[in-house]
Amino acid sequence: MKIDLHQVKIKSYRVALAKLSKGIAVLVGIAIVLISIEVFAGIPTQMNVSNSSAAGRKTTSPEQIRTIVRQARDSWINGDADAFAALFTPDGELIVPGQKWVGKDAIRKAAADFATYASNVKIEIRQIIIEGDRAAVEWYWEDTEKASGRRNRADDAIIADFVAGKIKRWREYIDSKTPETVTSHQ
């Protein structure tokens, strides 16, 4: 009997993901493990830029990455779509649950559309973990829907890839359920 190890790995990942708790710390931990597996095992991925110097690309320093994350936070707080889009490579990707934008123009439009929908954005960076040209970011987010006045809260885990001081890929995993049950943010 022949065993397909790829299918076994996929099933193992699915089982592991099905058992995850809602806590954002778990999401960040898994992201770090997956990044580490890709980096150290050499598993090819669509966005494997952590060894960008080998591919002839300029790397991004940890301090540059921290600065870019803070600039991203500030651009959301200020509703500055141009500043947010400027942080990305020309072919950069912004991915949130259910949506994906590719390229600075699409990212700028997405951020501008959000600014027409929501205001009074508050973001608290909890931690930034850097591995090569990648970062895992945990932040707490609040905004107010302009139409209804409803206050939204979310814990957010972000995995970002950087090339030459710009964001190549920004992927968000958003947990809007846990903050509703926790009063420590209020």
Among 28-32, 104-108, 111-115, 175-179, the least confident range: 28-32
Cα separation, 171 vs 97, in Å, equals 9
* Structure confidence at residue 178 as a pLDDT band (50, 70, 90): confident
In sequence order, which ranges of 50-169 are alpha helices (DSSP H)?
Answer: 62-78, 81-86, 104-117
Say if residue 25's pLDDT is above 60: no
Q: State CA 102 to chain mean position distance.
A: 14
Model pLDDT, residue 34: 52
112-88-147 Cα angle (round to 5) = 20
Say if residue 9's pLDDT is above 80: no
Model pLDDT, residue 179: 75
pTM above 0.85, yes or no: no
What integer best gives the mean pLDDT of the chain?
80
* Structure confidence at residue 54 as a pLDDT band (50, 70, 90): very low
* Structure confidence at residue 29 as a pLDDT band (50, 70, 90): low
Q: What is the token pair recorded at 141?
A: 């987010």
The closest of 34, 29, 114, 25 to 72, measured between CA atoms, is 114
Q: Between 85 and 43, where is the model more confident?
A: 85
Model pLDDT, residue 183: 52
Model pLDDT, residue 50: 42
The closest of 61, 104, 110, 68 to 86, measured between CA atoms, is 104
* Domains in the chain with CATH codes: 5-181 (3.10.450.50)
